[in-house]
Amino acid sequence: MADAMSASGRTTTPPPNGPGERALYNKAEYAGRKAVVCSPRRAAAVLVLVFLAVLAIALVAAFARPACLPSTGVVGPTTVAPPVATRPTTADGEPFPWDSLRLPPAVLPRRYELLLQPNLTTFAVVGRVKIQITVTQETSFIVLHSRNMTITKRELHTSDDSVNVSITRLLLYPERDQVYLSVNESLQLGQNYTLSFEFNYTLREALEGFYLSHYTAANGSKRYLATTQFEPNAARAAFPCFDEPQLKATFQLAMVRHESHTALFNTPRRSTADLDFYLGAGIKQDDFFETVRMSTYLVAFIVSDYAHISDTTDGNVLVSVWAPPHLVQQGQFAAQVAVSVLDFYTDYFGLPYQLPKLDLVAIPDFAAGAMENWGLCTFRLTSLLYEPSSGGSAIQQWVTRVVAHELAHQWFGNLVTMEWWNDLWLNEGFATLMEFIGAGHARPEYHMGQQFMLEATLTALALDSLRDSHPISVEVTDPDQIESIFDTISYSKGAAVLYMLMKELGQPVFKAGLNKYLRRHSLGSARTADLWAAVQEAAAEAETPPAGDGPPDVQAMMDSWTRQKSYPLISVVLSAGRLTVRQAPFTQLPAVGARQSDAPLWHVPLSCRLHRRAGLLAVRLNGTASVTVSAPRQSAWYYCNVNKTGVYRVTYPADNWAALQQLLLAGSSHLSVQDRAAIIDDAFSLNRADLLNASVPLRLSTSLSREAGLAPWAVSRRHLDWWLQLLYDQPTHAPLQHFVRRLIAPQYGQLGWSEQGSHVVRRLRALVLAWAVSVRLPEAVARARTLFSDWRNAGLPVPPDLRQLVYSTGVEYGDTGDWQFVWQRYLNATTPTEKNSLLRALGASTDPLILEHFLRISLAGELVRSQDFVLVVESTAANQAARLRLWRFVRLNWHKILDKFGGGTFMIDNIIQELVSRFSTQLELEEVRAFFDGKDLRSASRSLRQALESIQLNIRWRGSHQAAAAAWLEDWSRREAAGAAPPTARHWPN
């Protein structure tokens, strides 16, 4: 985003603050001037005249607004930002007539004709754009977007070029990237015009707009490429345009390039012409077919010397993976996934993919994981390229998911686009849901049901229980807010509530609703309500209606989940043959002054499994606080939210928690792997919220000694690792570490260090071994160090699934020579996944001088790519020995970090979260508050507030629950030392 400017564009001297200061101020201002003396009456008259003059100017300014300026705050079909407090001005101090974040509705773009000539030697870009526009309201001005470019020529003609309309004034408002053009005659309603610009700028390594990237070729030479990243609002940095998602148009591109390069666009190349005569030897121009109607943020073009591999779908779509020539064969796996998923989505959505080709391009410098540009998706190298010899099962699964995510966007986001950014979740929540469904189709052995619960539902529940969360559908009134909603709520919670709806209605009804939605709004824009309307129609038309008393009111149900933040805690009590269900908002730190009467309510679909009852018991809370239904009297246990399909947590009386633990220990078939993980996750989360004694999640965790499912292990590690970090400097740390070692031992012995087993078994092995090393299981540490030594000294390869673990262990327990060895391997590595593993391992050092050196060279951005600095922060923050040094380093280098990443990007969000959310003392909390006080974090402000809330939770947990955890662990250790069998839940303290 552009740097913020003051309203006036100038600095001013502050006014005096008191009588004494006023005298000094006046003396300094008028020293050396001849005094001017006037009587009190004359002074009063002058003041009255000045006041009247100011009032007259204000009235003139108020009524001299442009004819189409909205006074209601509404532009077109969507709500816009209210006017800024002070009138905007240009950098030169001239008043800027348009004062809304949103563009005026009087002019709509229909077609762009774009010519670009980037020079990958000088990095200069020269361009021309012709925009065909339609006038929807008579107007004498046009407002559009432009950022960080020099406009050298502008023209406006009637559509047939017969009449030139004079542009009398061009004004720039950099704070909002807006260009204001006034014309000498009114543009007439219903008429078409052509608006033309010539412009130039310089390619920079900026990670947005049309920017510069590079890679190192197999021969060691540095090769440049120019690529794009326009979402959410950076198309304006590549060419002047109407850069709002609902302002769709068609695009035609002509790209001038050297013959050694290839140009890519959203559509296939139509023709190539030689420009040798005009521009010199080897210069060519590629002309591309015109696109379908699409949003500016989905436009993409790339100039590079990449190679590609291709395959074709059953629907005859050409799918190509592009990468640096020496890496392109690592794109084979992604190409196979893309072909499979594209055919699957065509059938699932009931609509064909709209373009004849789909390019997937690996970009060396890329801020996000990937971007869904229509027909030309871009990816980080590590999100697209996979080499079996160096990438383990986790990398393979990640590539599958990311490809499936971006391909889902070709329908949800590209074919139908959200009308404005407050409905970003329509794009991202749906694509996140579909990435698991699509990946599960392409690779059934991944068991993506477990993965969805872990990566989407539970991730969303963790963040959304903070006070400083936000609704899924959130009003966007400021440019910085657009960046801030590309977060877990829009992606993961959005996906989780869609999954809940799908399970409530049934997949056939859900698919039918999606098909209606996509067909109805194809090549256009939509709002959240449009999706609910389509799904409601499908539910009403279903031959087999959803279970229960007929289909729910989809709009009412889903509004309760998308238009208010947080989620409910469901309390379930079974007594005397009656099951009573109550809901209340679940917030880990209750809001100060919150009243129960103001508590939100949700429409909650609940499925329960009860002892001695066949099938599931369906319960609905239709926006009510509680409901009671009949249930079997002899139920020894009951469990609600079967398979964790609902986006909420559930709690029970103490006797049912004990009964559920007995079920876990018995390995009961009544509980799925998702159920077992969810029970453990709910217990730990309720404890963190101060609603459940620490002994309950500890008791439940003992079931890990007999657990073979990935999800329960992943959940338990997530929470127990957090406890270990909070207790790092406390006496309870050692007994908790011993407890975890005992839980791990059975699975550690069974899984071993082999490479055998299914995908899920290999994922579980990597998790268990890494956890064993982190809690200092002696034989695990010894084995990892031996594998590192064999790799370093004898060149023996480390199994791909274990490389991150082995490299990190070697660095942590090694000396300077070991660190230098890994560093050199990082510098020389050519496989992206291998470089990632090595870079993460380098942050495991316990040597303060090495860590300081590593942080400095990483921030410099020469040997470590700027995009990877967040990985360095993440790995160093996870290192207990490095955390305080990292905090000191970031404080000393904060301005450099801001200069590199800007205050309004998710990379700053990630740095803040990783840096401080693990702190757990009042002193650290005050240090963080003091350091960030007064700093302009723009969209990262919410991340800071969430991190501060996490620190408060950590402090509270240490004060409230450490003693109970210590007492339980002491009792457990005493029983273990005595050789007693593990006691049943009812014998353990609550």
Q: Looking at the annotation, which residues are catalytic?
A: 406
Q: Between the CA of residue 182 and those of 49, 291, 727, 745, 855, what are the distances in Å? A: 34, 30, 65, 75, 51
**Residues 7 and 89 sit within 8 Å (Cβ to Cβ):** yes
CA distances from 830 to 82, 321, 817, 858, 960 (A): 51, 18, 22, 18, 50
Are the CB atoms for 831 and 390 separated by under 8 Å? yes
The closest of 472, 408, 388 to 797, measured between CA atoms, is 388
Q: How far from 949 is each of 483, 916, 933, 953, CA to CA, in Å? A: 21, 10, 15, 6
HSE of 876, CA atoms in CB hemisphere, 13 A: 30
Quick one: which of 490, 225, 243, 254 has its CA closest to 381?
A: 225
Give the residue among 943, 911, 827 at the shortest CA–CA distance from 367. Answer: 911
Helix runs in 357-506, H state only: 381-384, 393-409, 424-442, 448-452, 458-464, 479-484, 488, 494-505
Place of tokens 């079920």: 663
Reduced to 3 states, what is the DSSP secondary structure of residue 64? coil
**What number of helices (H) and strands (E) belong to the chain?**
33, 31
Find residue 178's DSSP bridge partners: 145, 173
- Nearest-CA neighbor of 123 among 240, 210, 212, 215? 212
Distance CA 6, CA 416 (A): 37
> What's the CA gap between 941 and 487, in Å, rounded?
13
Q: Residue 453 has what DSSP assignment? A: I
Which residues fall within 8 angstroms of residue 20, CB to CB, at 6 or more apart?
none
Please, what is the Cα angle at 255 between 209 and 181, to 5 degrees?
55
Cα separation, 476 vs 468, in Å, equals: 16
Per-residue DSSP letter, 968 = H
Q: Six-digit token pair at 839?
A: 């870079």
Measured CA angle at 661 (ends 658, 662), to 5 deg:
90
Q: Whole-angstrom Cα distance, residue 273 to residue 281? A: 12
Residue type present at position 44: A
Residues 986 and 325: their CA atoms lie apart, in Å, by 64
Tell me how crowded residue 518 is: count the other CB atoms within 10 A of its CB.
19
* Nearest alpha-carbon partner for 489 in 552, 423, 533: 423
Interacting residues of 693 by C-beta distance below 8 A, sequence separation 6+: 687, 961, 964, 990
Residue 441 has φ and ψ, to the nearest 5°, of -70, -45
Closest among 565, 562, 564, 567 to 586, alpha carbons compared:
567
Nearest to 565 by CA among 597, 587, 582: 587
